[in-house]
Structure 1
Amino acid sequence: MTAPTVGKRPADLLREGRRALGVPLLWLGAVAAGWVLVAVVDPNEPGHYPTCPLLAATGLYCPGCGTMRALHDLAHRDLAGALARNPLAVLSLPVLAWAWLGWVRGRWGTPTTARASVPAWVQWAAAALVVLFGVARNLPGMTLLSPA
């Protein structure tokens, strides 16, 4: 919980706000830089990025396989292509944005701002969804989920 803001000057509040938002803004900058890199350097062309270690070792697709190509497609406004590469990654982007905004609100918050936590069952359900997606995309006949 942050200290009360009563009696503080606006310049002090602004300085505290910048300090509180430093880490979330660094993360935003790193994600944006990564997205720009993936948008500019096409992951569909071999040799630009490393191969997935699980795919290289076993020939199986991990839940993250195709994510860079999906982000590349999104950067070029190809939602259908992005969903074909990795639907789980594309559908998780709004959730990640919402979580980041919650993090910012929590860091910038006032003493009356309640910190929301994700229930344990939601965390377990999300983990199970990722595992099930990873298994399903490797089943015979499930070429719809294949990132190829």
Structure 2
Amino acid sequence: SPAPRWRRLGTPAGVLAAVAGAFAYVGVVDPDHPGHYPVCPLYRFTGLYCPGCGGLRSAHAFVHGDLAAALHDNAPAVAGYFLFAVLWVVWAARAWRGRPARLELGNAQMWVIGTLLLAFTVIRNLPFGAWLHP
């Protein structure tokens, strides 16, 4: 017999709890104060910003409701927060109905995502892209 509906939500609920816990921690422990988080190794050794640089500051600003600062610190991360929210709702709804969660990205979608992140990384490391620095 199929699992009760509330049991089907166990994994999505666990993932949501973990993500909420991580955001709560970053919301309380400010990434702008040194000593709490490791420094990006790429930035430390080369001075270049990776696509994730500023992600913790972005999450901190996002938790505090400062969307402008979150977008400034790392716009792709903010897009990721909203994408996670949408995908989580779809996942939970499918689990509730007893359907498998499926996310199938084709090669074209993977290339688009990779190209956008690469462009973001290159532009933020060029002099005219300084406005994208975290």
Give the TM-score normalised by the residue count of structure 1: 0.79
Structure 2 CA distance for aligned equivalents of residues 28 and 69 of structure 1: 20
Give secondary structure in 2 for the equivalent of 1:35: helix
Question: Any runs of at least 4 consecutive aligned residues in structure 1 with deviations exceeding 6 A, and if so which?
Answer: none
| Equivalent-residue separation in structure 2 for 1:100 and 1:86 (angstroms) | 21
Q: In the alignment, is residue 85 of structure 1 matched against residue 55 of structure 2?
A: no
**Distance of 1:43 and 1:78 partners within structure 2:** 15
Give the total of aligned pairs: 134
**Distance (whole Å) between structure 1 residues aligned to residue 71 and residue 125 of structure 2:** 17
Q: Distance in 2 between matches of 1:88 and 1:134?
A: 10
Which 5+ residue runs of structure 2 have no aligned equivalent? none
CA-based RMSD: 2.2
Asked which structure has the greater CA Rg, the reply is 1
Deviations 1:36-69 (A, max 9, x none): 1011111111111111121112211110110110
Call closer, same or farther: CA 1:121–1:68 in 2, change over 3 Å.
same
Where do 1:128-147 residues align within 5 Å? 128-147=115-134
CA distance in 1 between partners of 2:37 and 2:62 (Å): 18
How many percent of aligned residue pairs carry the same amino acid? 43
Higher helix fraction (1 or 2): 2
Question: SS where residue 35 of structure 2 aligns?
Answer: coil
1:117 to partner: Cα distance: 3.9
| TM-score (norm. length: structure 2) | 0.86
Superposed displacement of residue 116, structure 1: 6.4
CA contact (8 A) 1:106 1:115 kept: no
In the TM superposition, what is the alpha-carbon distance from 1:108 to its structure 2 partner? 2.4
